[in-house]
Structure 1
Amino acid sequence: MIEYLLVFITLFILIQAYFAIADKYNIIDKPNHRSAHSQITLRGGGIIFPIAFIIFCIFNYKEAMEMYWSFGLGLLAICLVSFIDDVKTLSGKIRITVHFLSVAILLNFTGTFDAMPVWAWPIFFIMIIGTLNAYNFMDGINGITGAYTLITLLTLLFINRDIISFTEENFIMYAILASLVFLFYNFRKKAKCFAGDVGSMGIGFWLIALITLLIMKTQDYKYILLFSVYGMEVVLTIIERIMLRENIFEAHRRHLYQLLANEKKMSHLVISAIYALTQLVVNLFLIYSKLPIYAVILIIFVPLGSIYLFLKLSLKKKVQSSVIK
């Protein structure tokens, strides 16, 4: 407990130091046509996540050197390229190359290469890179990344403690502490900082590693559904944009959370809380349900998808009627 308190205080001190650096070197997020915020805010607050891992290595040196060094290489590589991209836009080829190498390191760290046949490797690459980008796409309003991440991490901590041990507890706890510190500055009406790509990619990478470790340990793929709310939204939005013949790689404001914030003028914090709590309900059902995975998927996605589509259509009609007027 003393260790966690020391780490918590250290993270607060270090993020304050980063704020001073970001302010001095103008590392800021300026609102654009895709943004759901209207004021200039410090960018890159999510740097707290790779910092938390470095502190984890310091406090847990033996375990880090034996088990987590390869994960650290992948995490720091993807965070470094993402942070540079936050400050100065990088070539897409550089980003993709680093992402590919980081994912390869992650698959090696989790034992996926050894456990899966060669033909399945590309599937895991596509799924992980897709999930990383989904985490990045969904980081658009105050509190959403921090709150959603915290719920997922707490669920993983519960599973690790009470259901099946799949990793060192501190490997989850340090990510939780970083999430709490980040939320203190981001879960506000006027956020002190945004996660930036370094944050969404960094914590997304950490969460994917944890969930992959859990899947490899249990051989139960239902735990992919710990990303179900984000996953459903991103997939349905991509399908919608393809049907509208839009470039899916260009910035947009078609996500439901964007429509709720921009058109419905709903509080960012309320939206973020709804997303996090919805995932919590899914997680509880996932943990305690004894149904086969296909039944769990149907029970989760049919109502969630129906609610999503209903809200999307309602908001679109509102936008269209206001344009006509």
Structure 2
Amino acid sequence: MLQLLYLPVLILLLLFYFRLAIQFKIIDKPNQRSSHSRITIRGGGIIFPIALLLQALFSRFEYPLFTLGLLLISLVSFYDDLRPLSNKIRLLVHLLAVSLLFMQAGLMAYPFWMIIPVYILVIGAINAYNFMDGINGITAAYSLITVLSLYFINETHISFALSEWLIVAALSLLVFNFFNFRKKAICFAGDVGSVSMAFIIIFFILLLIIKSGDLKYIGLLLIYGLDTVTTIVFRLIRRENIFEAHRSHFYQYLANRKGWPHLWVSVLYMVVQLLVNVLIISSDLSSVPFLIFILVSGIVFVGLRFVVEGQRSLLGRRLANR
């Protein structure tokens, strides 16, 4: 009940940020890569790290290294929302923040050769989460399902984290959704929102995996993972620069090319991930069945993309015409 007191505080803080954002023109103007058509406040996702920093303060810093890492990665992401930032600086801060996260989770006790792939996976996942934030409601709705699933697991299956932190993260998502999950969003999450939320969710998923010893909980981010990985593969096939901005994700195709309302697409991703989470939580999947489940899910997702988008869109004219 104490955490519910955060709700009015977070609403007031976000409204205060809106005033500052308008005054200092922290806004997002539509361009050719945008999925929106009106000027909108950028960086509203700053409420995510603010909520967790408040929780850290009032709980006497129960996760001090994680909190410091969240602060660092949120600051550099917010700066990136304001003006272009060197990729080298961004990567350096991400490495430092993730290192602090690993130290907090106890991952540094593992052999060095095991940690390197996890660095690559986590930093890649953080950036993928950022790329998936392209239409109204998708980041906060999808994240809310993941956070609530983690809370449910923590309360009913295996205790791996302090529930208060998950509650506060969920409340910050609810507040942000009120202003973003609508046909004409008042604000966007910005890099500060998507990156910080990815950092938060990955931290708690890592805690869960380490405590349970079960890799199946990676599946709590399955739908985002499938969209990101398949998009990268198809862009490589089309010989595109995967580091350039684009609108090639499946959710972008549905929203921009098929003309589906943004909220429909966001709800679709949220509901499908919820069904996956229910399967993961309720089943007793071991390593081999889980890998088979991932493989089958990938095949189904690729097949769906071919049916909906077509060969020419996914493979390019050169290969599609062969």
Q: How far apart, in 2, do the equivalents of 1:52 and 1:252 lie?
A: 31
Kindly state the Cα deviation for residue 314 of structure 1 after the two structures are TM-superposed.
2.7
**Shift in Å at residue 30 of structure 1?**
1.5
Asked whether the 8 Å contact 2:255–2:261 carries over to 1, the reply is yes
Q: CA deviation at 1:133?
A: 0.6
Matched, 1:72 2:67: yes
Q: Is the 8 A contact 2:154 2:161 kept in 1?
A: yes
**What secondary structure does 1:37 align onto?**
coil
Please state if 1:183 is matched with 2:177.
yes
Q: Give ranges in structure 1 of 5+ residues lacking alignment.
A: 321-325
- Matching residue of 1:59: 58
1:230 matched to which residue of 2?
224
Q: Does 1:239 align with 2:233?
A: yes
Distance between the aligned counterparts of 1:297 and 1:37, measured in 2? 37
Q: Distance in 2 between matches of 1:226 and 1:33?
A: 32
CA contact (8 A) 2:122 2:202 kept: yes
CA-atom RMSD in angstroms: 1.7
Q: Given that residues 3 and 164 in structure 2 are in contact (C-alpha distance below 8 angstroms), is that contact kept between their aligned partners in structure 1? A: no
Do structure 1's residue 298 and structure 2's residue 292 form an aligned pair?
A: yes
State the aligned residue count. Answer: 315
174-183 vs 301-310, which moves further = 301-310
What's the counterpart of residue 279 of structure 1? Answer: 273
Write the distance in 1 (CA, Å) between the matches of 2:203 and 2:306. 32
Whole-angstrom distance in 2 between the partners of 1:162 and 1:231: 26
1:238 CA drift (Å) = 0.4
Aligned to 1:251: 245
Give the alignment partner of residue 105 of structure 2, picking from 96, 106, 110: 110
- Give aligned-pair identity as a percent: 49
Q: Which runs of 5+ in 2 are unaligned?
A: 315-322
CA distance in 2, matches of 1:307, 1:218: 28
- Please name the residue that 1:90 is paired with: 85
Deviation at 1:313, TM superposition (A): 4.3
Alignment of 1:14-25 (within 5 A): 14-25=13-24
Contact 2:180 2:186 in 1 (8 A): yes
**CA 1:91–1:318: 2 relative to 1, 3 Å:** closer
Aligned residues of 1:71 and 1:109 also touching (Cα < 8 A):
yes
Take 2:264 and 2:82, find their aligned partners in 1: how far apart are those partners? 30
The SS at the match of 2:63 is helix
Q: CA deviation at 1:317?
A: 6.6
Amino acid at match of 2:75: L
TM-score by length of structure 2 reads 0.94
Q: What is aligned with 1:40? A: 39
Please name the residue that 1:167 is paired with.
161
- Find the partner of 1:200 among 191, 194, 198: 194
TM superposition shift of 1:250: 0.3
The match for 1:122 among 116, 120, 124 is: 116
> CA offset at residue 121 of structure 1?
1.3
1:46-102 CA-partner distances (Å, limit 9, x unpaired): 0001110121023322xx2xx311111100100000000001111111101100111
Equivalents in 1 of 2:236, 2:294: separation in Å? Answer: 24
8 Å contact from structure 1 (residues 83, 197) kept in 2: yes
User: What corresponds to 1:139 in structure 2?
Assistant: 133
| Alpha-carbon distance in structure 2 between the residues aligned to 1:213 and 1:265 | 39
One of 190, 211, 216 as aligned partner of 1:217: 211
User: Corresponding residue for 1:323?
Assistant: none
Change in 2 beyond 3 A, CA 1:241/1:160: same
Counterpart in the other structure of 2:143: 149
Q: Which amino acid aligns with 1:204?
A: A
Counterpart in the other structure of 1:10: 9
TM-score, with length taken from structure 1: 0.93
Counterpart residue type for residue 195 of structure 1: A
Deviation readout 1:294-323 (Å, 9 max, x if unpaired): 323323542454244323443347979xxx
Give the partner amino acid of 2:4.
L
Cα deviation, residue 292, structure 1: 2.0
Counterpart-to-counterpart distance in 1, 2:30 and 2:303: 28
Equivalent-residue separation in structure 2 for 1:289 and 1:206 (angstroms)? 25
Question: Matches of 1:301 and 1:274 in 2, distance apart?
Answer: 21
SS at match of 1:311: helix
Give deviations 1:161-198, integer Å, cap 9, x for gaps.
00010111111111000000010000000000000000
CA distance in structure 2 between the partners assigned to 1:122 and 1:225 by the alignment: 21
- Separation (CA, whole Å) in 2 of partners of 1:259 and 1:112: 38
